[in-house]
Every structure is written in structure tokens, then in C-alpha cells.
């Protein structure tokens, strides 16, 4: 064998030894990693507290990264708290009411859709017409869930929260007055009690507005019943204008007292209403 052949053979042997050693090292390293992973999983399986702590740390890190990227705190569950409904998912009658109310009171149709659906659900339990419930909301607050009178009537149906705080206990307390669905449920309960006490719808509305002991209710019941009639027509599929006909005035108009001034600003009238 020549010297060149011997050198080549030596190099091949050296290369083979190096490759074998590298394989052994990598194989052993992977085996160690595998053993470490198995031990870690076994530890986590027997120590749920460590697993929970690890998950918490990981979620905290991921949330911090997301906040840094977005510049705001994300809240994926916010959609579950929103009072809104896709009108395409509502029955035709309810969708028609939601669209009409949305146009008339200049509010988004999706939140109104959720309230219309809730009014129909409440109606099945209380036997009150859902369009009557919606008419009271329209006259009381114009579908503003954050409305408040100077004497403390709050929310969609302008319930006297301080007086009817017991009705809010099952909803977490008085602040629930500003949750639209809760205010609707409590307001309907108050309205139902007023109608039962008066023995008639007209009389119940007079109680509801706090005018039970007064000669008249300032036209409140007539406003509610007129809106109720319009909503019944909308629900029946008829075309109903969202604005009253234009009136040509020949003299300067005299501002009429608002419903809120009629009831909410007079503590005696409020007391008469809430004494029920």
C-alpha cells in the first residue's frame, strides 16, 4: 500500500470516528431532552399548582405582548356584554319594529333589536303587549339607557331606582339600572303593578307617571297610547311615518311643559307614584 493510500485511509477512519462521536453526542443529547420533557410532564401532572402557575405566567406574558402591540387592553369577551342583536336573526315583525324605532329615535338598530326581542320575551311572561312596553320606553327615555331625571328616575323606563332598589337586588344592585335589559325588566314589573292597582291600562299609566292623585297626567297616557298604536301598525306590516306631519304656524309657539317636568321635577308627584 502506498503512502498516499495510507493517508487517505487514515482520513476516512478519522472522519468516520468524528461522525460516530457526533451522532452519539446528539443521540445522547436528544435522549436527555426527552427524559427531561417526560420528567417535566410527570411533575406537572402531579403538581397542578405548578402547572397553573406556569399557565398564568404564560398568559400574562402573552397579554403583555398583545397590549404592547395593540396599544390597548384587549377584551374578547366584550361582545358578550354588548346589548345588541343581528336584525337578520330576528323574526320579521321584531326586525320591522327595530328598524322603525331606530329611524325615529336615531339610535343604532342592533341595540334596539335586542330590546325589541327582550320586550317580546317579557311579554310572554307578563301578558303585556310588547309594543306597549316599547311605547313606554319611547316616551320615557327615547331609548337612551343612560337617561336620568333631576329627581332620580333612571334608565330606559325611568324607574325611580332609589325607591325600587329592592327590585334590583337580584341583578346585583342599583347600578344595574343602567343595564338596558335589567331596567326594562324592572320597569315592566313596576308598570304591571301600576296597571293591577289601577284596574285599567289608562289608570296604570297615570300611576306610572306619578299622577294618580292629580286631575290629569299632563297627556302622558295619551302619548304612550298613541305611540303604542303606531307600533302596533308597524308590527302589522303597515307603513307608518317616523315623523309627524309638518304644521304651519302663524304665531310663535309656546313651549309645552315636558313630561319630565310634569312628573320628575315635582317630588310630591313622584312620592305619589312611588308610594305604590
Q: pLDDT digits over 119-128, tens only? A: 999 999 999 9
**Helix residue ranges, H only, 71-105:** 78-81, 92-105
Q: CA–CA distance from 235 to each of 46, 83, 99, 132 (Å)?
A: 62, 22, 11, 12
Residues 65 and 180 placed together within one structural domain of the fold: no
Task: Find, among 114, 86, 95, 142, the residue nearest to 237 by Cα.
Answer: 95
Residue 153 burial (C-beta neighbours within 10 Å; 0-12, 13-18, 19+): buried
Please indicate, yes or no, whether residues 246 and 127 belong to a single structural domain of this protein. yes
Stretch 124-140: mean pLDDT, rounded? 97
Residue 78 included in any domain: no
**Residue 256 pLDDT > 70, yes or no?**
no
Kindly report, residue by residue over 217-255, the tens digit of the pLDDT: 999 999 999 999 999 999 999 999 998 655 444 443 434
* Stronger pLDDT, 12 or 149, i.e. the higher one: 149
Query: What is the pLDDT confidence band of residue 259, given thresholds at 50, 70 and 90?
Result: very low
Task: State yes or no: pLDDT of 40 exceeds 90.
Answer: no
Quote helix, strand, coil % in the chain, to nearest 5. 65, 0, 30
| Residue 144, CA distances (Å) to 106, 174, 198, 236 in order | 10, 17, 28, 25
Under 8 Å between Cβ of 157 and 146: no
| 169 shares its domain with 52 | no
Count how many domains the chain has: 2
Confidence of residue 80 (pLDDT cuts 50, 70, 90): confident
266, pLDDT greater than 50: no
- 58-72, 156-170, 245-259, range with the lowest pLDDT: 245-259
pTM for this entry = 0.68
Query: Is 91 a domain residue?
Result: yes
* DSSP for residue 159: E
Q: Helix, strand, or coil here: 84?
A: coil
User: What mean pLDDT do residues 65-70 have?
Assistant: 63
Q: Report how far residue 133's alpha carbon sits from residue 18's, in angstroms, rounded to the nearest whole number.
A: 87
* 210 and 247 housed in the same domain: yes
Residues 40 and 116 both lie in one domain: no
Asked whether residue 17 falls in the same domain as residue 120, the answer is no
pLDDT at 52: 72
Amino acid 51: pLDDT: 66
Instruction: Report whether 96 contacts 234 (CB < 8 A).
Output: yes
Residue 166 has pLDDT above 90, yes or no: yes
Answer yes or no: is pLDDT of 163 > 80. Answer: yes
The boundaries of the domain holding residue 227 are: 87-274
Question: Is there a single domain that holds both residue 199 and residue 66?
Answer: no
Residues ≥6 apart with Cβ < 8 Å to 101: 107, 112, 116, 134, 138, 143, 231
Amino acid at each position: 500500500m502506498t503512502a498516499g493510500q495510507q493517508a487517505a485511509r487514515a482520513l476516512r477512519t478519522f472522519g468516520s470516528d468524528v461522525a460516530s462521536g457526533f451522532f452519539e453526542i446528539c443521540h445522547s443529547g436528544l435522549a436527555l431532552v426527552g427524559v427531561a420533557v417526560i420528567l417535566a410532564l410527570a411533575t406537572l401532572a402531579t403538581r397542578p399548582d405548578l402547572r397553573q402557575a406556569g399557565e398564568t405566567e404564560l398568559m400574562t406574558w402573552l397579554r403583555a405582548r398583545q397590549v404592547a402591540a395593540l396599544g390597548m387592553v384587549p377584551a374578547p369577551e366584550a361582545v358578550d356584554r354588548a346589548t345588541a342583536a343581528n336584525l337578520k336573526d330576528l323574526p320579521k315583525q321584531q326586525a320591522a319594529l327595530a328598524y322603525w324605532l331606530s329611524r325615529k329615535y336615531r339610535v343604532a338598530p342592533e341595540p334596539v333589536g335586542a330590546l325589541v326581542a327582550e320586550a317580546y320575551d317579557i311579554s310572554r311572561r307578563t301578558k303585556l303587549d310588547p309594543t306597549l312596553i316599547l311605547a313606554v320606553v319611547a316616551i320615557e327615555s327615547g331609548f337612551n339607557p343612560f337617561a336620568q331625571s333631576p329627581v332620580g328616575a333612571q334608565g330606559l323606563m325611568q324607574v325611580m331606582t332609589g325607591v325600587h332598589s329592592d327590585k334590583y337586588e337580584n341583578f346585583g344592585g342599583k347600578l344595574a339600572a343602567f343595564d338596558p335589559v335589567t331596567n326594562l325588566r324592572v320597569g315592566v314589573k313596576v308598570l304591571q303593578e301600576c296597571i293591577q292597582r289601577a284596574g285599567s291600562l289608562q289608570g296604570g299609566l297615570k300611576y306610572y307617571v306619578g299622577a294618580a292623585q292629580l286631575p290629569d297626567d299632563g297627556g302622558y297616557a295619551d302619548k304612550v297610547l298613541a305611540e303604542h298604536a303606531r307600533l302596533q301598525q308597524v308590527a302589522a306590516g303597515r307603513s307608518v311615518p317616523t315623523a309627524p306631519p309638518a304644521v304651519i304656524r302663524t304665531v310663535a309657539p309656546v313651549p309645552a311643559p315636558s313630561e319630565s317636568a310634569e312628573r320628575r321635577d315635582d317630588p310630591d308627584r313622584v312620592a305619589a307614584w312611588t308610594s305604590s
